[in-house]
Amino acid sequence: MIKSPLEKARMSYQPKLPNVLKGSVKLSEGKPTESVANQAEMKTLFPHTYGLPIVEFVAGEPKSYPAVNVGVILSGGQAPGGHNVISGIFDGLKKANPASKLYGFLGGPSGLIDHKYKELTVDIIDSYRNTGGFDMIGSGRTKLEKTEQFDKGAEICKQLNIKAIVIIGGDDSNTNACILAEYYKQKNIDIQVIGCPKTIDGDLKNEMIETSFGFDTAAKVYSELIGNIQRDCNSSRKYWHFIRLMGRSASHITLECALQTQPNVAIISEEVEAKNQSLSDVVTQITDSIVERANAGYEFGSVLIPEGLLEFMPKIKMLLSEMNDLLATPEFQAIVGDEAQRNFILLKLSHENKATFESLPLFIAKQLMMDRDAHGNVQVSLIETEKMLIEMVGERLKRLKECGAYTGKFSAMAHFFGYEGRCAFPSNFDADYCYSIGYNASLLILEGKTAYMSIIRNCCKSAEEWIAGGVPVVSMMNMERRNGKDVPVIRKALVELEGKPFKFFVSKREEWAGANDTFVFQGPIQFFGPSEVCDARTKTMMLECDK
Ligand code: FBP
């Protein structure tokens, strides 16, 4: 494979490790934990893995570890830094005992079930160090949730003498990792399971997990692109750019990009829901900004939109919930053609939801009828909310023009940034953070832990000062209703409206909406140069650290 000069240069970057992991370590155990809610149910569901203590590595005496074979799985959407998690596991295992082996299960969790794997040799690992993407072993969205799958996994582990599996994934994958750990414990199968917090969405975070990996890089890539667009805006002074950003339900990416680039408008889904705002309220909010700026002589600007926005509008939420059930019926699934499907939906919907469905532009109504994901949710990355808002804002401006309340000219461009950031070269932060998470995971395995997530904390400080350890996965779980059933899941973190990042945004957004010199241009991620540029943390993290 031909490598670009940057790829070659990044091969030799040595990711930073916390000081504590550089030498010999021992585990310090805290008090037993409780789950965040539904403690009684959790205790029953996880009799062997409930109540484990939080653990932290501290300096210890040198000791020898036996050779151990480990399997690793990348699960779900790509996030920058995944290869560094794997190289961290590899280096940690080999340092402890060079006879240890690391196997990569191919194509996500299905690799474990279907017995598709490869041994990860030093040559393979070296050629992927500090690169973006998950292509070293591939990823997938198969859910590990059935006992037959767990048994198939145990079979291949027995064949390869694998004693531990590391699952690198988001909240759902880590929930399933914990269910797997509990199952193996229950059945007396000697396989440990360790999770690692991945997702660009930033929604796998809590008191113990300061950020999920990939969020830093993805938000920086999108902010670079938004900055470039905003500079184009300032130069040509003729377009409004509507930019939808990935993040699934949570608006963390949109908020972070807003903090980095200071757009004229940024919509935060969690606020829309809290204020019970309708689609028409959001359209009015954007239109008002456009009119105000036009009155000040600025017929251009930027609007950031989180991809999950529609799901946070109460009426659309109700509509989607009824549609999810209808779409799952064999009757609907037998219908061929958009028109016939739409007619079926219209016939079956309740009176109120029918009115909401009919009020949406046709192309959006069609997109809402598309296949659901494995969890039964709308695939929000496929809903072109930015185009819908352009159309609806345009309509509203036309009406304002007719009554003389607006005299400007509205030209808009639609963008969607998601896949552009998921496989980018990891920033120095993500390269270091991921490597440390992986290295730390290998130590958790060597110390015999299972049902833990590998965690690195104190992240706003320099890597040398980071704290390394593990948090029991069950302690982050509660019961939630999914696909009509109450199930244990890791609690997803949405944007907190009382949190410092959102409050800071609220304190600034009016200024950013009206003035003409407030855009900030972050430029591309820098890998070489002054630390304040190359190792900068996200604004979200710095505001959250600011106690
Ligand atoms: P994960 O939750 O698996 O990390 O994936 C995140 C994400 O990138 C979302 O932001 C986005 O909505 C979704 O994946 C897109 O899914 P797909 O890769 O299947 O198109």
| 31-53 mean pLDDT | 96
- Which of 544, 435, 527, 529 has its CA nearest to residue 7? 527
- Which residue, by CA, sits nearest to atom 4 of ligand 1? 199
- Which residue, by CA, sits nearest to atom 5 of ligand 1? 77
Q: How far is the CA of 211 from the centre of ligand 1 (A)?
A: 17
Ligand 1 nearest-atom number relative to CA 419: 8
Q: How far is the CA of 397 from the centre of ligand 1 (A)?
A: 34
DSSP per-residue letters across 220-273: HHHHHHHHHHHHHHHHH---EEEEEE--TT--HHHHHHHHHH--SEE--HHHHH
Separation of alpha carbons 484 and 481, rounded Å: 6
- Which residue, by CA, sits nearest to atom 7 of ligand 1? 77
| 447-455 mean pLDDT | 98
Q: b/e string for 92-127 if b means 16 or more Cβ within 10 A?
A: bbbebeeebbbbbbbbbbbbbbeebbeebeeebbee
In 66-123, at which residue ranges do the beta strands (DSSP E only) sit? Answer: 69-75, 101-105, 117-119
Q: Summarize the chain as % helix, strand, coil (round to 5).
A: 45, 15, 35
| 98-114 mean pLDDT | 98
Beta bridge partners, 485, equal 482
Is 126 annotated in the active site? no
Tokens of 325: 């059930």
* Burial class (CB within 10 angstroms; exposed 0-12, middle 13-18, buried 19+) of 449: buried
Separation of alpha carbons 347 and 425, rounded Å: 49
Q: How far is the CA of 263 from the centre of ligand 1 (A)?
A: 24
What pLDDT, on a 0 to 100 scale, did the predictor assign at position 394?
A: 97
Q: Which of 201, 215, 269 to mutate to test the pocket of ligand 1 (most atoms within 8 A of CB)?
A: 201
The DSSP bridge pattern shows strands 240-245 and 412-417 to be parallel
- Which of 304, 83, 97 has its CA nearest to residue 198? 83
**Helix ranges, 262-305 (H):** 269-274, 279-295
How many residues are listed for the chain in this entry? 547
Pocket of ligand 1 (CB under 6 A): 76-77, 79, 170, 199-201, 246-248, 307, 380-381, 422
* Burial class (CB within 10 angstroms; exposed 0-12, middle 13-18, buried 19+) of 447: middle
Tokens of 360: 């949406």
| 47-63 mean pLDDT | 96
What pLDDT, on a 0 to 100 scale, did the predictor assign at position 547?
A: 63
Q: How far is the CA of 62 from the centre of ligand 1 (A)?
A: 42
Q: Which of 199, 222, 256, 257 to mutate to test the pocket of ligand 1 (most atoms within 8 A of CB)?
A: 199
Model pLDDT for residues 326-356, shown as the tens digit of each residue: 888 899 989 898 889 999 999 999 999 999 9
Separation of alpha carbons 273 and 2, rounded Å: 48
* Burial class (CB within 10 angstroms; exposed 0-12, middle 13-18, buried 19+) of 324: middle
Q: Which of 174, 200, 252, 377 to mutate to test the pocket of ligand 1 (most atoms within 8 A of CB)?
A: 200
Question: Residues near 308 by Cβ (< 8 Å), separated by ≥ 6?
Answer: 247, 248, 249, 250, 251, 269, 380
Ligand 1 nearest-atom number relative to CA 247: 10
Question: Residues near 59 by Cβ (< 8 Å), separated by ≥ 6?
Answer: 20, 23, 24, 25, 26
What pLDDT, on a 0 to 100 scale, did the predictor assign at position 514?
A: 85
**Are the beta carbons of 232 and 238 closer than 8 angstroms?**
no
Separation of alpha carbons 168 and 153, rounded Å: 16
Q: How far is the CA of 220 from the centre of ligand 1 (A)?
A: 17
Q: Confidence class of residue 517 from pLDDT cuts 50, 70 and 90?
A: confident
Task: Reduce the secondary structure of 444-506 to three states and give it as a string.
Answer: HHHCCCCCEEEEEECCCCCHHHCEEEEEEHHHHEEEEEECCEEEEEECCCCCCCCCHHHHHHH
- Nearest-10 Cα torsion for 22, 25, 30, 33: 70
**Are the beta carbons of 476 and 491 closer than 8 angstroms?**
yes
- Which residue, by CA, sits nearest to atom 16 of ligand 1? 77
Is a pLDDT exceeding 90 seen at residue 522?
yes
- Which residue, by CA, sits nearest to atom 10 of ligand 1? 247
- Which of 491, 541, 447, 434 has its CA nearest to residue 133? 434
Percent of the chain with pLDDT over 90: 89
Separation of alpha carbons 367 and 279, rounded Å: 16
What pLDDT, on a 0 to 100 scale, did the predictor assign at position 38?
A: 94
Tokens of 285: 């909010």
- Which residue, by CA, sits nearest to atom 6 of ligand 1? 77
* Burial class (CB within 10 angstroms; exposed 0-12, middle 13-18, buried 19+) of 31: exposed
The amino acid present at 254, given as its one-letter code, is T
- Which residue, by CA, sits nearest to atom 15 of ligand 1? 381
What pLDDT, on a 0 to 100 scale, did the predictor assign at position 362?
A: 87
- Identify the residue with better confidence: 122 or 332: 122
Q: Phi and psi (nearest 5°) for 475?
A: -65, -15
Structural element, H or E, at residue 189: none
Q: How far is the CA of 25 from the centre of ligand 1 (A)?
A: 36
Q: Which of 171, 217, 246, 305 to mutate to test the pocket of ligand 1 (most atoms within 8 A of CB)?
A: 246
Asked whether the whole model's pTM tops 0.85, one would answer yes
Candidate list 91, 171, 172, 201, residue with the active-site label = 201
Separation of alpha carbons 105 and 374, rounded Å: 20
- Which residue, by CA, sits nearest to atom 1 of ligand 1? 77
**Are the beta carbons of 241 and 302 closer than 8 angstroms?**
yes
Separation of alpha carbons 232 and 263, rounded Å: 13
Q: How far is the CA of 161 from the centre of ligand 1 (A)?
A: 33
C-alpha separations of 468 from 32, 74, 208, 216, 543 in Å: 18, 21, 11, 19, 22
Ligand 1 nearest-atom number relative to CA 79: 4
Is a pLDDT exceeding 90 seen at residue 301?
yes
Decide: helix, strand or coil at residue 287.
Answer: helix
Ligand 1 nearest-atom number relative to CA 308: 12
Q: How far is the CA of 416 from the centre of ligand 1 (A)?
A: 13
Lowest mean pLDDT among 88-102, 285-299, 325-339: 325-339
- Which residue, by CA, sits nearest to atom 20 of ligand 1? 381
Q: Which of 248, 254, 269 to mutate to test the pocket of ligand 1 (most atoms within 8 A of CB)?
A: 248
C-alpha 414, offset from chain centre: 23
Decide: helix, strand or coil at residue 32.
Answer: strand
How many other C-beta atoms are found inside a 10 Å radius of the C-beta of residue 24?
10
Separation of alpha carbons 412 and 390, rounded Å: 7
Ligand 1 nearest-atom number relative to CA 253: 10
Separation of alpha carbons 85 and 306, rounded Å: 28
Is a pLDDT exceeding 80 seen at residue 483?
no
Q: How far is the CA of 286 from the centre of ligand 1 (A)?
A: 27
Model pLDDT for residues 151-180, shown as the tens digit of each residue: 999 999 999 999 999 999 999 999 999 999
- Which of 221, 407, 412, 420 has its CA nearest to residue 303? 412
**Average pLDDT, rounded, for the chain:** 95
